[in-house]
């Protein structure tokens, strides 16, 4: 409950709040897994839960105290989506956790007992009249986002995308090929941790594993044999295709997942410049490199606009993994969809354009530049690239001849959760003449 309260009232990210809470409480693996499921599941299905709760409450949910609203949502999620805790026990727990303010516990008890008694054949109230609004409510997404995806992909694909983004994401690992092969890592995790596994179909160093506890507790993670990384994210470094002995820059490097992957693809031979404007986040890059045994990373704090002049035309490869709306990774950060507005996309695109323009000055003639986001939105992808190419006539798109995932006709790599089972990513490669 406290995690969701902080997400709602303090606008903290759910993963950070949950990590802190679990560390403080030292729960068993089983209870930690349930707490994680409740937090993320409630956030994913927040709008849907409010819709199916509404007929059982005399008061509008948005008018309630945040703690009471969170209690109602979490308990409704348990009753509607999970089977581990019986409905009567979930309701009793909710009443115990409710504030002692006069009348509040009675209100929580009445709402949730009414909800638990609802007819299983009539689980949903009447939908909104507008078809897009109804779709967004059932899929638990903001209407503005559902509307733009229906317009771009069509109703069927848009619904599939939203439902895919509400799924629990798989735990995907990247084998540290400096130390171990993917097959050897798989055998080790199976032997040491009892983990089931399967290879990722697109990234040759990836494994999907689980269930089986937290990676930080595994010996294979502690000794640097693997990193946690989604398959779509692995493809971004492969699109840049760094070569051993070259000079590469990752200008938005923290927390270092793609940075360390670049170094591994180079055999840890050469130089990987890692920039980030947040010194605290850059510390995570250094820590990741140390754990993985990587020595080629040169981490420097500061924005790329300030650091790029010192490396003018000095890099064979440059990666811009731009800060964005994160609307492609809602499986992992579901709270983001309730915070974003359409205006955020244009504001983000301006910053992305500034970063891309500064990073381009670092590319040698004949060198390559990759622009990537974990967003599916044209304002953050195609619009940024059009602006960049119009102002930089010495750059042109440079799609590879072959790639694990076929690229679009315009040269873009697009990973879509409902089609590829990955996070949502977009990336494009340029070459400087």
According to DSSP, the β-strands at 297-301 and 271-276 are: parallel
Structure token pair of residue 32: 């930690």
- Round to whole Å and give the CA distance between 22 and 24: 5
- Round to whole Å and give the CA distance between 268 and 224: 14
Q: Determine how many CB atoms are found less than 10 A away from the CB of residue 304.
A: 26
Contact 325, 335 (CB under 8 A): no
> Which DSSP helix (H) or strand (E) runs through 197?
strand 197-199
374 is catalytic: yes
Q: Which of 252, 315, 374, 415 is catalytic?
A: 374
Q: Determine how many CB atoms are found less than 10 A away from the CB of residue 398.
A: 15
Q: Which residues pair with 206 in a beta bridge?
A: 174
Task: Name the residue among 251, 200, 247 with its Cα closest to residue 228.
Answer: 200
- Round to whole Å and give the CA distance between 24 and 84: 24
- Round to whole Å and give the CA distance between 250 and 259: 6
Structure token pair of residue 324: 């964005």
For 375-395, letters b (16+ CB in 10 Å) and e give: bbbbbbbebbbebbeeebeeb
- Round to whole Å and give the CA distance between 321 and 301: 16
Structure token pair of residue 312: 């003018």
- Round to whole Å and give the CA distance between 33 and 214: 9
Structure token pair of residue 143: 């209407």
Task: Name the residue among 264, 47, 31 with its Cα closest to residue 146.
Answer: 47
Which are the catalytic amino acids? Answer: 374
């Amino acid at each position: 409950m406290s995690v969701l309260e902080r997400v709602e009232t303090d606008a903290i990210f759910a993963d950070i709040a949950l990590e802190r809470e679990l560390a403080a409480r030292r729960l068993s693996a089983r209870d930690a897994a349930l707490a994680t499921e409740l937090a993320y599941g409630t956030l994913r299905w927040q709008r849907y839960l409010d819709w199916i709760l509404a007929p059982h409450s005399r008061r509008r949910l948005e008018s309630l105290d945040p703690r009471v609203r969170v209690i109602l949502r979490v308990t409704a999620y348990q009753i509607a989506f999970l089977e581990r805790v019986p409905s009567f026990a979930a309701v009793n727990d909710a009443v115990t956790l409710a504030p002692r303010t006069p009348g509040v516990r009675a209100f929580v008890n009445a709402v949730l007992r009414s909800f638990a008694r609802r007819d299983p054949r009539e689980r949903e109230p009447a939908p909104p009249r507008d078809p897009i609004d109804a779709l967004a409510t059932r899929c638990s997404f903001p209407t503005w986002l559902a509307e733009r995806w229906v317009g771009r992909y069509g109703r069927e694909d848009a619904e599939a995308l939203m439902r895919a983004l509400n799924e629990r994401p798989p735990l995907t690992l990247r084998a540290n090929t400096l130390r171990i092969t993917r097959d050897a890592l798989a055998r080790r995790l199976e032997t040491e941790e009892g983990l089931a596994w399967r290879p990722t179909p697109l990234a040759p160093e990836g494994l999907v594993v689980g269930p089986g506890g937290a990676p930080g507790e595994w010996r294979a993670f502690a000794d640097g044999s693997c990193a946690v990384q989604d398959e779509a994210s692995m493809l971004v470094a492969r699109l840049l295709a760094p070569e051993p002995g070259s000079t590469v820059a990752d200008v938005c490097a923290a927390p270092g997942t793609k940075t360390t992957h670049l170094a591994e693809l180079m055999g840890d031979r050469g130089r990987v410049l890692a920039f980030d404007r947040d010194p605290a986040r850059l510390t995570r890059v250094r820590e990741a490199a140390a754990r993985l045994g990587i020595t080629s990373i040169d981490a420097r704090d500061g924005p790329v606009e300030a650091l790029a002049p010192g490396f003018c035309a000095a890099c064979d490869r440059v990666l811009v993994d731009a800060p964005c709306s994160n609307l492609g990774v809602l499986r992992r950060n579901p709270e983001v969809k309730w915070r974003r507005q359409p205006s955020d996309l244009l504001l983000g695109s301006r910053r992305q354009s500034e970063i891309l323009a500064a990073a381009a000055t670092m590319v040698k003639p004949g060198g390559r530049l990759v622009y990537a986001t974990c967003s599916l939105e044209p304002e953050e992808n195609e619009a940024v690239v059009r602006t960049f190419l119009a102002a930089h006539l010495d750059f042109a798109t440079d799609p590879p001849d072959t790639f694990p995932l076929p690229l679009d006709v315009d040269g873009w790599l697009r990973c879509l959760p409902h089609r590829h089972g990955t996070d949502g990513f977009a990336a494009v490669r340029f070459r400087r003449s």
